[in-house]
Structure 1
Amino acid sequence: MEVKRLENRSSKGYTTFGSMWEKGKLHGDNISFTLKGENGQVPVQSRVTAYWPDGSIKWAAHTADAEAMGKKAVIDPVLNQEINYGKGKIEVSDMGQDGFRIEAGSVSVLVCKDGDKLFKEALFKGKKYIESARCDALIENRKGEYNKEVNSYKGIVKNAEIVEEGDVRVVVKLSGTHISTENKESKRLPFTIYMEIYRDCPEFRFTHTFFLDIDESKEFIKGVGISFDVPVSGEQYNRHFKALADNGAFSEAGAMLLCWHPRVSDEIYHKQIKGEKIVLDPESEEGRNAIDASKMMPVWDEYRLYQDSSEHFVIRKRTAKENVCLIDGLHGHRAPGVISFGSDEGSVMLGLKDFWQKYPSTLSVKNISKNMATGTIWLVTPDADAMDFRHYEDTGYSQTYYEGFDVFGASAYGIANTSEFAVRFNENVIPSDTELSDFCESIQKKALYIASPEYYHDLRAFGYWSLVRRDSEAENWLEDQLESAFEFYKDEVEVRKWYGMFDYGDFMHTYDKERHSWRYDMGGYAWQNTELVPTFWLWFYFLRTQREDVFTICEAMTRHCSEVDIYHFGKYQGLGSRHNVRHWGCPCKEPRIAMAGHNRMMYFLTGDFRLRDIFDEVKDADFSTIETDPLRFFFDKKEMVYPTHARTGPDWSSYVSNWLTQWEINKNNAYLDKIKTGIEDLKQTPLRLLSGTDFEYDPKTSHLRYIGDRATGGSHLSICQGSEQTWLELTDLLDDPKWNEMLAYYGTFYPLDNETQNKLSGGRIGNRSFAYPFMAAGVIAYGAYYNKDRELGKKVWEILKESLETELKDGAIKAVDVPLAGNQKVLKEIPWVSTNVFAQWCLNAIVALEFVRDDLPESFK
């Protein structure tokens, strides 16, 4: 399989990428992989990430050095052959309660199994660069608006396990929680950290997740940080701090040799600011002057790079004296998110991915003037106001503001946030600007290798989607619409500043053309929260275009939606919150928001370990609905036979997505049986997949109980929340012609008029509406393809064209210029824009092109 590096991505550093293989090609447990880069063989470490139904390998993940790979590489399977790169596996020694000693060539570290340290004694080429690392948290308690008390919590590791080891890297999973330094019974903010250690590489990478278990009515998060204790020594004028800024770097020394009296030569100061180590000769006048001056000037001990919004950062510093202030050294727009500090002992770089996008955040160092400096990555920074997770109201507004139910349902208990960061060692007192920039790029734009769109398409990666073709006027028009839709949302992220730690990665739901803004303050019209699957739209758009800017948005959306929008523990585990002003605000807690299908693409393309945890957290989401029945306000519990309800879509279809993921990742046939049980139940109903959509449901047996043909919320909900993509993918994975035929019939039935539907169903459909046919266009196209129905194929394109005219009040996706609106000189606005409409229209067009491209009209004009 040939892969290429994604454009505008770092060419350096280690990377993990996915490979996909033809069904039936790679069988057995003794398969290895070789990697050939542009200049020959490259050491690679591989693991299988998914299997086809016949047990053959479907997806694998591979870790290698991007610089050695070059722009293109070839990954090949090798059967029954041990690959030897001459260095053997990285040494991992279990030291009992002391932890794991990892010897990765020139890198050595002791990873802790328990206690208040993540790791100790990080060495590179025998020199200790980090003494230890730890987690800290600050919880602010409030009694009223201005009575605030901040309590310190120390991160305690409860468990450490090696989750991957080989020739190239070791990955350790650390789990724990933060415990109050004042009250050992007070525990808050559980955490999970994946730590990656690479052979001969002076860089550790981390994927850090913290989970909310606070009482949001009175507890506010004031800080979440990871600190690294770093030995420092030598003269203060050889202790340095550097941070990348908007343009170039901010660079200073602890004692700066720019002195009025005694005068220090310009050459010495010039070398110092360049980051060169200064060696002064006390026998010379020049040397004596500089030494004397260094003892009579302020010594800067602490630096902070603080990004307070997506639009502003500040670098501040102060001395080590008590009761002294911080002073501002530099103001700027968007800091790239890396700093470095060092001394005669060498230097350490710290970098946080999406530093300004997930503001407020801080990178800091203190005690640099002493023997042990502490560098801290503040994911939640104490420099900002404490994070407030209260709701914007104390009730719901179901009718006026589309909040589902009128009951209060906001809860942040059980949500999470994940960040990626890295630490790197350097032998010099401070790295060069180029070294710091390369480090920054490898964090912010890590190398990613992908195969061609045609390759993924031929193997039907993630089901059915189409390739880009512009061979006709109609195709050209459609591709223009898809491109315009993406460009509009890409620009909106920047225009509307959809940034922030708990917001970045999401879009808004519905627009307000009178205010020229999104309805950010109107209940269910605010944040999208995966509603109508913009996730599938954007990932399919990436697969077919392979644009780096598309991937960046997909990556951010996946990270946000898989953490902030869903519950990872508690009574709602495996469910998510429907769209709302606050991501966790809606009283509707449903499986569709959290289903695995939103996140599978990123997992298989990048091998991200945290997403594997997400799949485990949602796999049994159906059990959470025993207490939180999605139809609890529509049926009397006392009259039910089964303990809860599931609509064919979006409830059961979301479970199927979760179960499919478990089946393919773990070869767990118990989850396949759950899928088959539901399908068999549907086969026995009067209208098969068209029955319901409301069913009673028993999570213990996975059975659906037919209770008639009522569709709470409308029939369109059964297809537009990822059901179409999940069910279509199953047509290739299940050896069940009846399932394929049921799905095809669903597609042919959906666009029929109500009278015809009732004739075909014996009157069972009644007045049930099959609204928004453009949201079912993909499965309608499948019905046309399955039955070779050219007229139905043409109908698909009529539906998609007409929907643009009715939903957007226009015949195409295009913005208009509005002067002095939205805080813009000229605002590019689509007055009737709705993310529901855009996501579903684009997604269904992409799918429909795969099935009924030959039925396109000559022109859409």
Structure 2
Amino acid sequence: MSLSRRALLQSSLLGGAVLALPTPARAAKTVLATDVHWLDGSPPAWDGGQSWGTPWPRGTLRGTDRLQAHGADGIALPLQSWPLAYWPDGSIKWSGHALPAMIDRAASHVSIGIGRNPAPVHPVRVEEQADAVLVHVGTTSWRLPRTGSAIIAAAERNGQTLLRNVHLLASAQNAASDEESENLSIERYTGRIDALTVEQSGPVRAVVKVAGSHVGNGREWLPFSLRLYFTADSPAVRIVHSFIWDGDADRDFLRGLGIRAQAPMAAPLHDRHVRIATDDGLFSEAVRPLTGLRRDVGEAFRQAQIDGRATPSVDTLPDRLRQLLDSIPAWGDFRLFQGNAQGFTLTKRTRKGRAPIQSLEGDRARGLAYVGTPSGGAAIGMADFWRRHPVQLDIDGAAGDAADLTAWLHAPDAPAMDMRSYRDVLGMTDYARQNDGLDMTYEDYEPGWDQARGIARTNELWLWALPATPDAATLDSYAAQVARPARLQVQPDRIHAAGVFGDWAPRTTSGALSLAIERQNDLLIDHYRDEIDRRHWYGFWNHGDVMHGYDSDRHQWRYDIGGYAWDNSELSTDLWFWYSYLRSGRADIFRMAEAMTRHTGEVDVYHSGPWAGLGTRHGVQHWSDSSKQPRVSNAAYRRIFYYLTGDERVGDLMRVLVHSDRVLQRVDIGRKVADRAPESLPPGGVGAVVKPAGLPEGVIQLSFGTSWGSLVAAWFTEWERTGDRRWRDRILAGMNSIAALPRQWWAGGANFDLASGRFVSGGDHISVSHLNAVFGIVEIMAELLPLVDAPGYRAAWIDYCKWYNAPADQWERRFGEAPRGHNLRQAHSRLTAYAAHALQDPALAARAWSEFQDGELKPGLTTVQAGDGIMEIAGLSTNGAAQWGLAAIQNLALTPPD
């Protein structure tokens, strides 16, 4: 098979960096050479293994078994590869890769090509037994039971147990505080394993998925799933932990949610070491300190304790000193509590039942703690530690036979988690009054539809099983990895050359208008990056989201005003961040987009209950708005992160969305529209069937852009991940049926048959919505249309793009009525640009740039200081910023202005 013309053109963009792949077949294949760079520009002091995704031009790679990696010195590195996605011809579109820990401390990049793939010196090996799975990483064996409460029963090295009994735990109280109840009670729960699955088994890494629930007091709740990642040459297991909140908000007030390990402490009290990472250093102490005493035990003892080494034998001490050692209090418990984004406290006590004393305070702890002895110990770390406050790291019982090491995802020392609605009904007992409220506060409120039950949260942790207390530099490198995880990533030019993610291009480097647009996109991105920190948009449920609208009178984001508060992906903020990263390769944008992907895919979406598969419109609480829609759960907002990283959790989130259209049989998104709304709410309470009257069973009303387009994103992703053409056929059924409707895309929506995936009725009248093309449909169509044969639909889509922003007089002449609903003109300039590019029409291209430049946000925006620490951009809203950025990116790619 000869290399396609498109692939040749793409390879030329890389300066001809093409590797020949000899095959015994009649034709040759070619693979683009790929350099994978450290996101932050240089290798970290420590990394526990790397995984990422690499894109390939269509038709250039047929399998992943012959891919090879090598470092800067040209020496081949062990590489584990697997397919992430396929092109329609069956060739690899995205491949996933894993490298061992600490591959090359000096390498600025890793190169991927074709060649012999060496095995790791110490390969990861999985041994499946009837009651457990054993994962062998070098000389350390991790035992994972299939049932019970221990996620990890033990980690052993050369027959010695380094840690054991790793389990999940939670606690909840029956009221928010003693202000609301005089009889507070606390119930405690432990994780129970229901299923264990080996997803990868080496040789570079093994992945094991564990699922279960928290149980106790005759109750089962808080379902969890977590993945354990074991990597060659790494003493740590990476843990991606997810749980679903399924409590009763009026009686379940979560006090603590965490993961705990035990570390045996078989050493004298003065040889038991505690290390906790602070904001810029290490808190390093011993259970029984030998420094600062009135009677000096000698430099050899003091220095060994500071270094984490075994002290000399106490028999070398003078008799008087040796006899007095037991008079030194032993500090068995240590606690680091980060209650907010600005401060932590570290305390210690001798034991439970004794008063704690304050050790130190600081700003933003990095989130790592170690306890152990010169013959072994354990460390635990939690990513985004201070950003996810309130959080806590505990070491308990270090003066006993074993120490408990706990990472609290929600700190028990914090106020209990309150998941109740923030507001009262305020008379909004029917749709008419709810619409009035929407008109005032922009909040689509409905009693009972503001529940958090069914949302989720994911956290990333590391757990080390160590043969000895590490030195300070090593532990500091672990803490740096926890606080800012190192990543290998493919560069923007190479991603673009593969022809993935639709219409975008790397940053423009010439042309006055183009450069002005680039500067303004940077200004807007930087403003949101800085506002996250200035406004402290952090916390257990909040981290990763941004605010929606700004109140210039208060010089404050409208955090307390209905639908103007948290953004919840409104108008594709996620995509703006991701495409800005793709074009620039900037690490700060990647991390903003990653945090947003983690948040919006978990917190803003329901994973169980009556709205499972739908997300919540923007609001004061992330779940408080009653509009539950697929435009928020949208796979289009997750897929870029998934393919760049191969993250399995996000892959799960997208996969479950392929059937999310079914829930729309119970939830009519347009139930409050004025000409359809009944006088009162339907009987049956929350979860009762709410759908338009008159539609047959299995037929729902569906908008094209906000709903069908979001579903198409899930079906498209599943098709390319699996090659299963059922999902392509479902997409084509919808496309062809839209093309057959009387008004095609101008209908805005129609009646959709769930069984066939076709629009079967309606579509007779023009109904233009300014929201139909601003929730990812533009990006998905740009990716999808070149891959499917749908000429009728393609023509309908181009027609919609060409005419949406058409001048009013031209529109009226064509359609016989005045245009209505044509808002967001600047945002829709990219539709005009798409039509201009597709039709090769210079006049349309000029019109697109006129629409873009005459819109709400004009080039030349500036940031001004409006007070102490307050920075503002006049007229800014997140809607406007995100859509301006996406329009700028697509217009520059399709119709470069200069």
Q: What range describes the TM-score normalised by the shorter chain of this pair?
A: over 0.9
Which of residues 330, 335, 359 in structure 2 aligns to 1:299?
330
In structure 1, C-alpha distance between the alignment counterparts of 2:656 and 2:794, rounded to whole Å: 30
The aligned residue for residue 685 of structure 1 is 741
1:524 aligns with 2:576: no
Say if 2:171 and 2:255, in contact at 8 Å, map to a contact too: yes
The aligned residue for residue 115 of structure 1 is 148
SS at match of 1:357: helix
Which of residues 254, 263, 277 in structure 2 aligns to 1:230?
263
Say if 1:124 and 1:202, in contact at 8 Å, map to a contact too: no
In structure 1, C-alpha distance between the alignment counterparts of 2:613 and 2:724, rounded to whole Å: 19
SS at match of 2:290: coil
In structure 2, C-alpha distance between the alignment counterparts of 1:590 and 1:629, rounded to whole Å: 9
The aligned residue for residue 171 of structure 1 is 207
1:499 aligns with 2:547: no
| Offset, 1:812 | 2.7
Alpha-carbon deviations, 1:796-844, whole Å to 9, x = none? Answer: 22222211xxx35x65321112234xxx3xx211242100000000011
Say if 1:257 and 1:290, in contact at 8 Å, map to a contact too: no
Which of residues 864, 878, 881 in structure 2 aligns to 1:838?
881
The aligned residue for residue 414 of structure 2 is 384
SS at match of 1:67: coil
In structure 1, C-alpha distance between the alignment counterparts of 2:247 and 2:537, rounded to whole Å: 25
Aligned residue identity for 2:544: G
1:32 aligns with 2:66: yes
Aligned residue identity for 2:454: G
The aligned residue for residue 25 of structure 2 is none
Say if 1:9 and 1:445, in contact at 8 Å, map to a contact too: no
In structure 2, C-alpha distance between the alignment counterparts of 1:547 and 1:87, rounded to whole Å: 34
Aligned residue identity for 2:328: M
1:16 aligns with 2:43: no
In structure 1, C-alpha distance between the alignment counterparts of 2:833 and 2:52, rounded to whole Å: 33
Alpha-carbon deviations, 1:180-205, whole Å to 9, x = none? Answer: 1x22xx11100001001123421111
| Offset, 1:407 | 4.5
Say if 1:694 and 1:711, in contact at 8 Å, map to a contact too: no
Provide structure 1 residue ranges, at least 5 long, that are not aligned to the other structure: 857-861
Which of residues 781, 789, 793 in structure 2 aligns to 1:727?
781
1:361 aligns with 2:391: yes
The aligned residue for residue 751 of structure 1 is 805
What's the RMSD between the two structures over aligned residues? 2.0
1:550-589 aligned within 5 A? 550-589=589-628
1:346 aligns with 2:383: no
Indicate how the Cα distance of structure 1 residues 738 and 140 shifts in structure 2: closer, same or farther if over 3 A, else same.
same
1:208 aligns with 2:244: no
Indicate how the Cα distance of structure 1 residues 517 and 57 shifts in structure 2: closer, same or farther if over 3 A, else same.
same
1:281-296 aligned within 5 A? 281-285=314-318, 288-296=319-327
The aligned residue for residue 859 of structure 1 is none
SS at match of 2:827: helix
In structure 2, C-alpha distance between the alignment counterparts of 1:510 and 1:188, rounded to whole Å: 36
Alpha-carbon deviations, 1:675-716, whole Å to 9, x = none? Answer: 1111111111123222x113122222222234246677x521
Indicate how the Cα distance of structure 1 residues 555 and 670 shifts in structure 2: closer, same or farther if over 3 A, else same.
same
In structure 2, C-alpha distance between the alignment counterparts of 1:486 and 1:665, rounded to whole Å: 31
1:333 aligns with 2:363: yes
Alpha-carbon deviations, 1:29-50, whole Å to 9, x = none? Answer: x733211111311101111110
| Offset, 1:131 | 2.0
Say if 2:743 and 2:763, in contact at 8 Å, map to a contact too: no
The aligned residue for residue 796 of structure 2 is 742
Comparing 393-402 with 592-601, which one deviates more in the overlay?
393-402
Say if 1:693 and 1:709, in contact at 8 Å, map to a contact too: no
Alpha-carbon deviations, 1:639-669, whole Å to 9, x = none? Answer: 3346321101111000100110110111121
SS at match of 2:388: coil
Alpha-carbon deviations, 1:127-149, whole Å to 9, x = none? Answer: 32112211111122128723422
Say if 2:366 and 2:482, in contact at 8 Å, map to a contact too: no
The aligned residue for residue 150 of structure 1 is 186
The aligned residue for residue 91 of structure 2 is 56
1:193 aligns with 2:226: yes
| Offset, 1:166 | 2.0
Aligned residue identity for 1:849: L
Aligned residue identity for 2:150: K
In structure 2, C-alpha distance between the alignment counterparts of 1:758 and 1:706, rounded to whole Å: 26
1:817 aligns with 2:853: no
SS at match of 1:720: coil
SS at match of 1:757: helix
In structure 2, C-alpha distance between the alignment counterparts of 1:648 and 1:284, rounded to whole Å: 82
Say if 1:10 and 1:442, in contact at 8 Å, map to a contact too: no
Alpha-carbon deviations, 1:560-615, whole Å to 9, x = none? Answer: 11110101122111100000000011100000101111011111111111011101
SS at match of 1:638: coil
Aligned residue identity for 1:296: S
Alpha-carbon deviations, 1:188-234, whole Å to 9, x = none? Answer: 10000100112342111100001111011221111111110111111
Say if 1:695 and 1:704, in contact at 8 Å, map to a contact too: yes
The aligned residue for residue 666 of structure 1 is 722
The aligned residue for residue 731 of structure 2 is 675
Which of residues 126, 129, 134 in structure 1 aligns to 2:162?
129
| Offset, 1:408 | 4.6
In structure 2, C-alpha distance between the alignment counterparts of 1:116 and 1:448, rounded to whole Å: 32
The aligned residue for residue 796 of structure 1 is 848
Provide structure 2 residue ranges, at least 5 long, that are not aligned to the other structure: 1-33, 426-433, 678-691
1:695 aligns with 2:743: no
1:74 aligns with 2:114: no
The aligned residue for residue 479 of structure 2 is 440
In structure 2, C-alpha distance between the alignment counterparts of 1:345 and 1:68, rounded to whole Å: 26
Comparing 500-509 with 780-789, which one deviates more in the overlay?
780-789
Alpha-carbon deviations, 1:614-652, whole Å to 9, x = none? Answer: 012211111111111111233372233463211011110
SS at match of 2:387: coil
In structure 2, C-alpha distance between the alignment counterparts of 1:168 and 1:834, rounded to whole Å: 46
Alpha-carbon deviations, 1:39-63, whole Å to 9, x = none? Answer: 3111011111100111111001100
Which of residues 159, 163, 168 in structure 1 aligns to 2:195?
159
Indicate how the Cα distance of structure 1 residues 739 and 88 shifts in structure 2: closer, same or farther if over 3 A, else same.
farther
SS at match of 1:100: strand
In structure 1, C-alpha distance between the alignment counterparts of 2:587 and 2:316, rounded to whole Å: 58
In structure 1, C-alpha distance between the alignment counterparts of 2:406 and 2:862, rounded to whole Å: 46
Say if 2:309 and 2:374, in contact at 8 Å, map to a contact too: no
Say if 2:282 and 2:476, in contact at 8 Å, map to a contact too: no
Say if 1:232 and 1:345, in contact at 8 Å, map to a contact too: no
Aligned residue identity for 1:389: M
Percent of aligned pairs with the same amino acid: 29
Aligned residue identity for 1:851: L
In structure 1, C-alpha distance between the alignment counterparts of 2:241 and 2:321, rounded to whole Å: 44
In structure 2, C-alpha distance between the alignment counterparts of 1:166 and 1:259, rounded to whole Å: 49
SS at match of 1:665: helix
Aligned residue identity for 1:73: V
1:94 aligns with 2:128: yes
In structure 2, C-alpha distance between the alignment counterparts of 1:92 and 1:521, rounded to whole Å: 51
Which of residues 638, 642, 650 in structure 1 aligns to 2:693?
638
| Offset, 1:266 | 5.5
1:704 aligns with 2:759: yes
In structure 1, C-alpha distance between the alignment counterparts of 2:260 and 2:447, rounded to whole Å: 42
Aligned residue identity for 2:773: I
Aligned residue identity for 1:680: N
| Offset, 1:743 | 2.2
Aligned residue identity for 1:245: T
In structure 1, C-alpha distance between the alignment counterparts of 2:447 and 2:627, rounded to whole Å: 10
Indicate how the Cα distance of structure 1 residues 259 and 251 shifts in structure 2: closer, same or farther if over 3 A, else same.
closer
Aligned residue identity for 1:571: P
In structure 2, C-alpha distance between the alignment counterparts of 1:85 and 1:414, rounded to whole Å: 43
Indicate how the Cα distance of structure 1 residues 86 and 613 shifts in structure 2: closer, same or farther if over 3 A, else same.
closer
